[in-house]
Amino acid sequence: MARASGCSVATVSRVLAGTRPVGPEIARRVREAAESLGYRPNQVARALRSRSTGTIGLVLPQITNPFFPSLVREVEHALHAEGRAVLLADCDDDPTIEAARITALLDRQVDALLVIPVDERHSRAAVAAAVAQVPLVLLDRGCGPGIADSVATDNTVGMTLVLDHLAATGRRRPCFIGAAGTDSAAVERLAAYEAGAGALDPEAPGRVELGDFSLEWGRAAVDRILPSRPDAVVCANDLIAVGALQRLRQLGVDVPGEIAVTGFDDIPMADLADPALTTVRQPVRELAAEAAHLLGHRLAEQKDGPRRSVRLAPELVVRASSAPRAASAPDPGTTRTAEEDQ
């Protein structure tokens, strides 16, 4: 390669990396030679020398969780646009596996880590250890206070959007089906419901059932919540909401005629449920972009800036499951977004 262009390897390196100015004539020769020889620089050697692999580790609980694929997609695209590559680690929802995967990624000299922790508490040690070695940003879920940079959806805003919408469409007796976990999604969504539901009905903050983030729990919780005669079921995520929808249908309850149902996340299934589910759409692309930005910042600047915690506001997606009682349920194919409401 150096021979072919009639100059030294150093010059070749400079032309390709653009590190230092090079004469226009010789630069052209180098580029031509690279072209005709089909030369591709070896990223491994480059990484060894420059101590930077251009590789980011993405650690997530379970790729089969329906909320993650779109997030992974956006992260992959955002990072690739910066010329970085993504090493994927699926943890099977197990903090032990998570710790092992993080170690494996660190051994491979990833430049940084993007972690969606499995568990608020049990992931902390592994994350803390990793933070000491490379820039790390927590995505979507927290992992203890101020342990690392983090990017997540603002759950409080989301829940407020839901409650405001229910109030505006005439619902007065909401209830909440949530999750008992200690993670930010469970805690913040519950807190926001309790804080906001009182405006609709002083009793509403008390109508709460806590289980986990599953379809099964959604189905089971309906039976426990129904005796309180709610006119709206606010669910902590879409899985719970779809489960609730299934059980309500089974019991012959009219949604949205008798009861409105809302979810959170806007997973693909939300649009396909019958009736289509009103929910809160997380700003997935922006979450990914912000995470990539934070990583870039940590990689460029000195490693010791103050911890940043970014919260992004979600968007309400109004669908059939919360249509006002006056109107009959519209065609399931029809959806309106928050913008269109304005």
Q: Which residues bind DNA (CB under 7 A)?
A: 1, 6-14, 16-17, 19-23, 25-27, 40-42, 45-46, 48-51
The residue among 45 and 326 lying less far from a copy of itself, judged by its C-beta, is 45
Report the alpha-carbon angle 327-332-335, nearest 5: 80
The residue among 106 and 195 lying less far from a copy of itself, judged by its C-beta, is 106
Work out how close the CB of 200 gets to a copy of itself at its nearest, in angstroms, rounded to a whole number: 30
Q: Does 155 bind a copy of itself (CB under 8 A)?
A: no
Q: Which of 82, 92, 223, 341 binds a copy of itself (CB under 8 A)?
A: 92
Side by side, which strands form the sheet with 174-179? 208-211, 174-179, 232-235, 260-262
Structure tokens at 215: 């379809």
The residue among 12 and 277 lying less far from DNA, judged by its C-beta, is 12
**Burial class of 238 by CB neighbour count within 10 A (0 to 12, 13 to 18, 19+):** buried
Q: Which of 4, 269, 299, 312 binds a copy of itself (CB under 8 A)?
A: 269
Work out how close the CB of 170 gets to a copy of itself at its nearest, in angstroms, rounded to a whole number: 26
Among DNA, a copy of itself, none, what does residue 27 contact (CB within 5–8 Å per kind)?
DNA
Q: Does 307 bind a copy of itself (CB under 8 A)?
A: no
- Please tell me the distance from the alpha carbon of residue 122 to that of residue 216, in angstroms, as a whole number: 24
Structure tokens at 138: 């927590």
- Residue 314 contacts by C-beta under 8 Å, 6 or more apart in sequence? 153, 154, 157, 158, 161, 280, 281, 282, 283
Q: Does 55 bind a copy of itself (CB under 8 A)?
A: yes
- Please tell me the distance from the alpha carbon of residue 265 to that of residue 247, in angstroms, as a whole number: 20
Structure tokens at 293: 């930005």
Q: How is 222-242 classified by DSSP, letter by letter?
A: HHHHGGG--SEEEESSHHHHH
Q: Which of residues 248-267 bind a copy of itself (CB under 8 A)?
A: 249-250
Q: Which of 13, 22, 90, 144 binds a copy of itself (CB under 8 A)?
A: 90
Contacts with a copy of itself, residue ranges (CB under 8 A): 40-45, 47-48, 53-55, 58, 62-64, 66, 68-70, 72-73, 76-77, 80, 85-90, 92, 101, 103-109, 215, 219, 242, 246, 249-250, 268-269, 272, 274, 331-333
